[in-house]
Chain A
Amino acid sequence: MAFLEVHNLTKDFGGLRANSNITFSMKRGELIGLIGPNGAGKTTLFNCISGLHPVTSGGIIFDEEDITKLKAHKVAQRGLARTFQVYAASGDLTVRENVMVGCFMRTHLRSRAKARATEILENLNIGDTADYLVNELPVAAQKRVTMATAIASDPKLLLLDEVAAGLNPNEIDEIMASIKHVHDDMGITVMLIEHVMELVMKISHRVIVLDYGEKIAEGDPEAISKDPRVIKAYLGERYVQEHGGMEESKE
């Protein structure tokens, strides 16, 4: 039994089909990358899975339960967390307090939430930012705060929406290490939307490619980077020339 199973998911906004018949499944402990050009329907897919958008047709099964019709907060309570491209939970709160909002999903006790939030911030190497307001931090740290807030609810599956966008190469390495930490050490299954190919290709077990709302390819990073449809739709000739497939880039 698959951990997350999306079958024939279709989502229409009025006359626009944002997701069309998307089917894929995910095993517990996997790390999957979701790529595709802007407007391909990646974030819409996340919104559908996390229950923010009602799906037009199709179904979603998460951890042996049909969550297709569940409201977003119920989906979150089942252990499916996500981040957003907009940053934290609240600009009025400090970093630690933002993470505590996530912790409060599992506990009513402020002291327990606070201790857990502090622990998570330490884990993601942003313990020293705990008492700042989120918008006082650089973008890279803000991205970590969103990750920390999502992790705070002790999810089984974490959907990351462009946590590396707008970061410099050093920061990308750092956030990649954080994602690996979340996946390998905390044992959370991860699916990530990302435009930064270095990151996706390096850490994903499997990559799914969307274009115009349809799934056009799925496979391991190496195969995907050689897939002519993917190159045409998204990667472009230049990426392939620079990286020459995955063999060389892995060193």
Chain B
Amino acid sequence: MEAIRNALDFSDFPRLDLIVAGSVGIAFIIFPLFPHSSFAMSTMIQFLMFSLYGMGWNTIGGYGGQVDLGKAQYVGIGAYTTAVMLILWDVPFWVSMPIGMFFSVVWSFIIGYPLFRLKGHYFAIATIATSLVLKDLFEVWDFVGAARGLEISPIKYHPPDFLRLIFREDVYYFYVILGFFFLGVLYMNWFRKSRLGFQLRSIKDNEDVARSLGINVHWAKVKTYAIATAFVSMVGSFHACYIKSIEPEDTMSLDISILIALMAMLGGAGSLWGPIIGAGILIPLKSYLKEWLGAQVGLVGIDLIIYALIIMVISAFEPRGVWGIVEKFRRRKRN
């Protein structure tokens, strides 16, 4: 009960923030009612997906300060679980998604337990390594289509299949992921004020102080890593139904892992709105640059250069990201 009340309680933010957040939320809900291109719609869906990835990353990477660059492996586990179960046994999304989350969380314990003996850069590198190894395994695993990947061929389009999450129109995907997005915001609003959320900030600042306050530092990290993983895996499952074609090189690439972490850091790691702001900046930018500049001969890859530049500028100017700049103009940190 108290958890639900805390999740719904945003009262520690200034009224301005709440008005802005509320308006943006309403704009999202009514967005499909207005004329829009399919490009805008797919960008919106990507944005919501990456916001959710970022929220997951933010638990361990932001509040916990453990820079994790291996989230793509859990996108993969979620996506592959859903795709395989749908193709082979016609299992609905709502069943395969929790199963994918379960596999992801089990895997996260297996690698998280030893990995959290490492700190800082060593931890970050180790997460990259595990993610790449898992990707390579999927590339040679025939059961999941090896490097070719898997293709979900829709059995039927009409009526919209809410059970398997197979739709012809993107608008249905939009509303499903928007629902996840709102739930994600509420969860994160609870999380940042929870016992674990507070303990993580203590761990981030000084692990010895955290220990002396009775916090089992290693276990708190492993637990949080599992939470982050569950988030990412859930969206990974959605990704499979939405894209309908998954392959290791695409779904589990290092690019995805880095993009997830960068977005959250750009927006403001360790803050509620940070990952959403970061995704709101980077995803449209990435899509548009790819669409307009990437197609020009000789400009292939320029999108990567431009967004690398933005990241460099932001991190030099304000390491706490865009939200850090907002906080600078206020006296109070609100995370």
The interface of chain A, by Cβ under 8 A from chain B, is 50-52, 71-73, 76-77, 81-82, 84, 86, 88-93, 97, 100-102, 104-105, 108-111, 113, 133, 149-150, 153
Contact = CB atoms under 8 A, between A and B. Distances in A.
B213 interface: yes
Contacts of B198: 90, 93, 97, 100-101, 104
Interface string B229-257: 00000000000000000000000000000
B116 to A, nearest CB: 14
Contacts of B332: 133
A101 B335 contact: no
B213 A101 contact: yes
26 contacts: A71-B216, A72-B208, A72-B212, A73-B211, A73-B215, A73-B216, A73-B217, A76-B211, A84-B206, A86-B209, A88-B209, A90-B198, A90-B201, A91-B205, A92-B201, A92-B204, A92-B333, A92-B335, A93-B198, A93-B201, A101-B201, A105-B215, A108-B195, A110-B6, A110-B193, A153-B214
A7 to B, nearest CB: 22
B275 interface: no
A227 to B, nearest CB: 32
A196 B44 CA distance: 62
A139 to B, nearest CB: 17
A150 B212 CA distance: 8
* Chief secondary structure at chain B's binding surface: helix
Interface in B164-201: 193-195, 198-199, 201
B205 A76 contact: no
A153 B213 CA distance: 7
Contact of A102 (B206, B213, B217): B213
Nearest to A159: B212
B211 A72 contact: yes
Contact of A73 (B195, B214, B335): B214
A79 B114 CA distance: 29
A225 B330 CA distance: 51
Contacts of A71: 211, 216
Contacts of A113: 195
B324 to A, nearest CB: 11
Given A89-B210, A101-B215, A102-B213, 4 more contacts: A76-B212, A89-B206, A90-B201, A92-B335
Contacts of B199: 101, 104
Contacts of B193: 110
Nearest to A155: B214
B35 to A, nearest CB: 43
A151 B208 CA distance: 17
B202 interface: yes
A210 to B, nearest CB: 21
For the complex of A and B, 4 pairs with smallest distance between CB atoms: A72-B211, A105-B214, A76-B214, A90-B201
B201 A82 contact: no
Contacts of B213: 73, 76, 81, 89, 101-102, 105, 149-150, 153
B321 interface: no
Residue from B194, B211, B217 with most neighbouring chain A CB atoms (10 Å)? B211
